[in-house]
Structure 1
C-alpha cells in the first residue's frame, strides 16, 4: 500500500505539470477515489492497474489531461468502466451534470458506491449499452473503448448539436478517421503529455456535429 502523502505529492506535481488549477478539495477527493478503486479492485477486478502510483498517472492524471477540452453543462462518459475519465473530471470541475455509462454490473455497482461515498453531486451511473442511452449532452467522453466509427455509430445520437465529442486514444488514430460517419467533423487531434507515462502515447480526438 503506497503512502498517501507520497501519492498526494505525485498527484499535485502532475496537476501542476498539466497546468491545471483545481478546487481546494479536489486533491483529497481524487485520492479518496483512488483509494476506493484500489480497495474494490482486489475483489471486483475493475482495472488491470494494481499499483497505486500507476493509478495516479494512468487513471487520474490521464483523465485530468483532457479537462481543458471539456465544455458545456452536461457530460456523458461512455464505457466509463470504474469511472474514467468521468469521476476525476467531476471532482476537478464540479457543477456539471455527469452521466457515467457502462454495461458491466460490477463496475456500475462500484460507480454508485463512489458517487455515494465521495458525495459527487450531479453525477449518476447507468448500467446500459451505449446505443440504448437517451438524451443529449454538451460533451461526450470515451476512453479507448472502441474505434471512432463504432463509438459514433453507437453513441453519436447523444451529442447535442453544438456539443463536442472527446475520444481518448493511445497512439494517433489517423487510420480510424476514414470511418467517422458523415454527420461528424474532426475538430482536431491533440497530443496529451501525461505526467508519469514516459514514452506512452496519448491522443485526444475532438469531433463535432456537422
Structure 2
C-alpha cells in the first residue's frame, strides 16, 4: 500500500482500506477465473491499481458525473477509479459474463454503491456518459466508433475518452484520424513499468 500512499497522498484511511480489500477480493477471484496473469498478480498494486489510477493524473472526474468503463475485464480501470471517486457513478461493461459476475461480486463485497456492471458490448450500450475509460481493448480506429455516440450532449468539463495504452502510438493515432492528446504516465510514476505507458485523451464531440 505504500506505493499507493506515495502517489496518492490524499487517500483517506477508508480508501486505503478499500484498496487493500480490493486486492484480497481480486486475488481470490483470480484463483477461480484467471482475470490476470500470475506475474501481474505479484505486482498487482503497480501494474493494475496504479495503472488504472493513471487516468486520475490526467483528469479529475467532477462530483455527480458518469463514467463508462468499456471492456472492464476484472474491473479495471473502473473499480480502482470508483474507490478514488466515490461521488462519481461508474458503469462497467464487458462481453464476458463470468468477468462481469466477478466484478459485480467484488463491487458488492467492497460496498461500492457508485458502481454498476453489465454484460454487454460497448456498441449496445444506450445510456450517455460524461467520460469513457478503457484499458487497451483495441486499436483506437476500431475502438472509438464503438463509443463515439455514448457521450452526453452537454458533458462535464474535460468530457471524452481516456484510454490507457502502451508503446509508440504515433501511427495508431494517425490511422484513427482523431484529435488526441497523449500524456506519458512516466511523468507521474518513476517505476520502470510505466516507461511506455500512456493515457490517450480524445475529446467528446
* Alpha-carbon distance in structure 1 between the residues aligned to 2:92 and 2:19: 17
For the structure 1 residues 76 and 198, does the alpha-carbon distance in structure 2 shift closer, same or farther, using more than 3 Å as the test? closer
* 5+ long unaligned stretches in structure 2: none
Structure 2: how far apart are the matches of 1:64 and 1:44? 24
For the residues of structure 2 that align with 1:19 and 1:37, how far apart are their CA atoms? 21
Report what 1:202 is aligned to. Answer: 197
Cα RMSD (Å): 1.9
Residue in structure 1 matched with residue 3 of structure 2 by the alignment: 13
* 2:179 alignment counterpart: 185
1:25-40 alignment, distance < 5 Å: 25-40=14-29
1:191-210 Cα deviation digits (max 9, x unpaired): 00245444641100011134
1:111·1:125 contact (CA, 8 Å) conserved in 2? yes
Give deviations 1:122-151, integer Å, cap 9, x for gaps: 210010011101111111101001111111
The offset of 1:172, in angstroms, is: 3.2
Q: Size of the alignment, in residue pairs? A: 196
Shift of the alpha carbon at 1:160?
2.6
Deviation at 1:80, TM superposition (A): 0.6
Question: Which segment is superposed worse, 79-88 or 65-74?
Answer: 65-74
Q: With the length of structure 2 as denominator, give the TM-score of the two structures.
A: 0.87
In the other structure, the counterpart of 2:71 is 79
1:157-168 equivalences under 5 Å are 157-161=149-153, 162=155, 163-168=159-164
Tell whether the 8 Å contact from 1:23 to 1:92 is kept in structure 2 after alignment. Answer: no
The CA deviation at 1:71 is 2.6
Residue-by-residue CA offset, 1:39-82 (whole Å, 9 max, x unaligned): 11111111114564411110011111221314341100100110
Map of 1:127 onto structure 2: 119
Aligned equivalents of 1:29 and 1:53: distance in 2?
19
Structure 1 gaps of 5+ residues are 1-10
For 1:110 and 1:195, locate their aligned partners in 2 and report how far apart those are by CA, in whole Å. Answer: 32
1:97 to 89, 100, 111: 89
- Over 3 Å counting, the alpha-carbon distance change for 1:197 and 1:53 in structure 2 is farther
The worse-fitting range, judged by mean Cα deviation, of 107-116 and 64-73 is 64-73
> Deviation at 1:93?
1.4
The SS at the match of 1:25 is helix
| TM-score (norm: length of structure 1) | 0.85
Cα distance in 1, alignment partners of residues 55 and 176 from structure 2? 21
Could you tell me how far apart the structure 1 residues matched to 2:190 and 2:45 are? 9
